[in-house]
Amino acid sequence: MTIEAIAQRARKAAWELAALDTETKNRALRAVRAALERSRVEISRANAADKRDAEILVDSGQLSKALAKRLDIEGGKFDGILSGVDDVIRLADPVGQVGYAMRLDHGLDLYRVSCPIGVLGVIFEARPDAAVQISTLALKSANAVILKGGREAERSNRALVEAIQRGIAEVPGVPPGAVQLISTREEVREMLALDEWIDLIIPRGSNELVRSIKDSTRIPVLGHADGICAVYIDRAADAERAAAVVVDSKAQYPAVCNATETLLVHREALSRVLPELGRRLREAGVELRADADSLPHLPGAIPSTEEDYGTEFLDLILAVKTVGSVEEAIDHINRHGSHHTDAIVTEDAKVAELFLSRVDSASVFHNASTRFADGFRYGLGAEVGVSTNKTHARGPVGLDGLVIYKYRLYGHGQCVAQYAPGKRKFLHERIEAATPPSPQAPNEISPSRP
Amino acid sequence: MTIEAIAQRARKAAWELAALDTETKNRALRAVRAALERSRVEISRANAADKRDAEILVDSGQLSKALAKRLDIEGGKFDGILSGVDDVIRLADPVGQVGYAMRLDHGLDLYRVSCPIGVLGVIFEARPDAAVQISTLALKSANAVILKGGREAERSNRALVEAIQRGIAEVPGVPPGAVQLISTREEVREMLALDEWIDLIIPRGSNELVRSIKDSTRIPVLGHADGICAVYIDRAADAERAAAVVVDSKAQYPAVCNATETLLVHREALSRVLPELGRRLREAGVELRADADSLPHLPGAIPSTEEDYGTEFLDLILAVKTVGSVEEAIDHINRHGSHHTDAIVTEDAKVAELFLSRVDSASVFHNASTRFADGFRYGLGAEVGVSTNKTHARGPVGLDGLVIYKYRLYGHGQCVAQYAPGKRKFLHERIEAATPPSPQAPNEISPSRP
């Protein structure tokens, strides 16, 4: 099948998915889970083959050990995949939620109801379990999805998606084009050009992947390229809290996007906060790169360069900079950060509010580690990705990020001409009941209808 | 100033606007209104000069009479502009609304709070009153805006924007870069390339304008190019309702995007519904282009071509097509429509629900004219534009479409390491109170702070 045919098949599937009720979608998810369980041996065999080839690449230095390790989906990992499907079944249906309901006039009711976006193109690296997570989240939100996994996991991905497709095929009404897999970079390139058929691209992987995708498509992209997060220690910071928050933000798991890369310190807090904080960071193995004013307070630190303040280290390295005011800290973050997650440590609630209002980032924290920026920790149930976009969805994105809405108007033959100046007036009265007459369509029309 | 300097000035203004409270924004809006009122003579003089030049263009056939007429902002039109500012002052503040609030743990509260998008680039044609409407909506939603108006209204736009800027300058804390005007196509071209500084482009004008902008920028565009709306008359349609809805949808105001261009009729309704409907449409001056099956039921109609079903006539022309089922109607609309607004006329609620669920359009109506798709009629208070996008905002877009959200987390020094497996568990308890500790920041920090 050509990519265009795949995309059109997805589009057709999306139109059918949009009319499914919650129970049918959950039945499909249970069938997917059962099919994965039944295909365990086959999936394991495919995964073993991928891992064998990856080991050869590791030995020859063409693949990192860390990436090769992430290929594994056998044993406990496989049980985790199955229980992940259970989690998605338990999530509330994001479709059919009424966000706005207005009686325009007697017998003329308007409902803004959440509905799927349509067709998602999801490009992910290494981890084959992402194929299951994404497919099940798409199914729950009634979106069709075209998946492209990492080359190293090609056989695992194929085995997983074939099992998913067998599960879907068992449930009447769920279209077979709901989940499809493509496999080459050339196919991805073609997919990114199909803005007529595909509504949203979600890249999950390295900064390079995200950036290259953002640069080569007109389809909206949900994601983030960089994660240059900062912690600002205010002059009214509690020294113990500052140390705890900074060490966790930097060192608890430095390889991820919500780890902190820049530490800003108010000049008046340097001597009070930095010596103990510096000691604990050194203990955690963090290399400190400090500006001229903070350097004397950080034994063992090396001088920073301007470039350090715009670098996502993803490693145990922290750039330290002195600022004269909270305004200077805000300005630094807005100009040099990546609008992902930034925190202030202060006991002054007014300063905190200024920081939280003016820092233009998806997540802004008062006295908490930047590492909390995460869909699970936020209680969203599942994370589709983290977005630094300024429209649609921002920050950790849950299932809500995979829906949009449509306006449904229920009338009795009304015409706009009836409401011309001097004639009828609109009522515009909020409707309290949260559901339209029938929020979800029947899956089929009864043949006995006259 | 270069366009890049203008955009950077807007960005800086946006960061300051984001921290303003409702009262300050309304004070600025009142000052803008007063400044406009004070500048009435000066604006009128600029408008008269624009109109004089436009008349010359009309006489030489270079400008349509309709466009020239839309330039006028004197007399009653000017009063309308002033009362439009009053309307925006009365609108609820879209910023600071809590959409999600979760207690992650005791003393660790998360709020998802609406906030401005940032910098808007708005390109509009002819009507200079749009400059005021857009500037005031932007101010109310705390977005900075860069305006580009039509060339014919250049002096009027400049006079209006200068008055607006004088009003803004009177209110401490409101940055002067909040509203800026650019004037040449070359400047627009440059602006569309500044995706680093500008967050959203809103084109208001002809399809050609919207399409050419969508084709030449990577910045998200809020708008719609086409409005190919359809009405489907089901076999269970009431004939009188069908006639009323179709005549209003087509003929009440044919030059706008929510006017209907395509009529789909169930085969079994042809003989019952079309003769009377056709008579009324002819009476309203509508030219009918019908397929072979519907043609015999429509005296005076001419045969349609395939092209007619993909054309936005914006005129008293209607393409009529016969379908064998609601599914065929849905499929036709999804493939040939523009996902703007589509209606079904039927007395069968189940068929209506299928149509409303499966038609992939921003607005889907049961027994109502497509002409109702409009921000004012929807009760949104003000219309920023109509969007056929699948992300962020869809359909008539109110002030809500100019905001996004950020996550604010209020802690007491918590670290992610405390929540490692086997340690503390997240509470994840919904917070009922709808406001974070202090949803809006003070405009300045008290100098008496220790």
Give pLDDT tens digits for B313-350: 999 999 999 999 999 999 999 999 999 999 999 999 99
* pLDDT score of A444: 37
- Is the Cβ–Cβ distance between A271 and A248 less than 8 Å? no
* pLDDT score of A449: 34
pLDDT tens, A363-401?
Answer: 999 999 999 999 999 999 888 889 999 999 999 999 999
Q: How far apart are CA B176 and CA B162, in angstroms?
A: 11
Is the pLDDT at A8 greater than 90? The verdict is: yes
Residues of chain A numbered 183-242 and touching chain B (CB < 8 Å): 199-200, 218, 220, 222, 236, 238, 240-241
> Does A407 sit within 8 Å of B345, measured CB to CB?
no
pLDDT tens, A15-73?
Answer: 999 999 999 999 999 999 999 999 999 999 999 999 999 999 999 999 888 888 889 99
* Mutation to test the A interface, candidates B260, B357, B438, most A Cβ within 10 Å: B357
Closest CA to A406 of A195, A111, A90: A111
Q: How far apart are CA A290 and CA A292, in angstroms?
A: 7
Classify residue B54 as exposed, middle or buried by CB count within 10 Å of its CB (0-12, 13-18, 19+): buried
The answer, for B349 touching chain A at a CB cutoff of 8 Å, is: yes
Is the pLDDT at B442 greater than 80? The verdict is: no
Q: Map out the domains of chain B with their CATH numbers.
A: 3-222+397-402 (3.40.605.10), 229-383 (3.40.309.10)
* pLDDT score of B440: 44
> Does B428 sit within 8 Å of A360, measured CB to CB?
no
Residues of chain A numbered 368-387 and touching chain B (CB < 8 Å): 368-369, 371-373, 377-379
Sign of the Cα pseudo-torsion (A374, A375, A377, A382, in order) = negative
Residue A354 neighbours by CB distance under 10 Å: 22
The answer, for A367 touching chain B at a CB cutoff of 8 Å, is: yes
3-state SS, residue A390: coil
* Inter-chain contacts counted by CB atoms under 8 A, chains A and B: 276
Q: Are strands B385-387 and B395-397 parallel, antiparallel or unpaired?
A: antiparallel
Q: What is the ipTM of this complex?
A: 0.93
> Does A368 sit within 8 Å of B411, measured CB to CB?
yes
- Locate tokens 């991805």: which residue? A188
Closest CA to B340 of B239, B252, B181, B223: B223
User: A65-69, A104-108, A235-239, A355-359: which range is least confident on average?
Assistant: A65-69
Query: What residue spans of B239-325 are helical by DSSP H?
Result: 239-251, 270-283
Distance from CA of residue B371 to its chain's centroid? 15
Mean pLDDT across B361-374: 98
* pLDDT score of A438: 58
Average pLDDT in chain B: 93
On chain B, the residues whose CB falls within 8 A of the CB of A371 are 415-416
* pLDDT score of A266: 98
> Does A354 sit within 8 Å of B104, measured CB to CB?
no
Q: Are strands A229-233 and A341-345 parallel, antiparallel or unpaired?
A: parallel
Is the pLDDT at A448 greater than 80? The verdict is: no
Distance from CA of B404 to the nearest CA of A (A): 6
Mean pLDDT across B84-94: 95
* pLDDT score of A224: 80
- Locate tokens 């100098």: which residue? B447
What is the enclosing helix (H) or strand (E) of B323?
strand B317-323
pTM: 0.92
Is the pLDDT at B281 greater than 90? The verdict is: yes
The answer, for B415 touching chain A at a CB cutoff of 8 Å, is: yes
* pLDDT score of A440: 44
Cα atoms in the 13 Å half-sphere on the side-chain side of A369: 25
Q: How far apart are CA A365 and CA A132, in angstroms?
A: 32
> Does B364 sit within 8 Å of A407, measured CB to CB?
yes
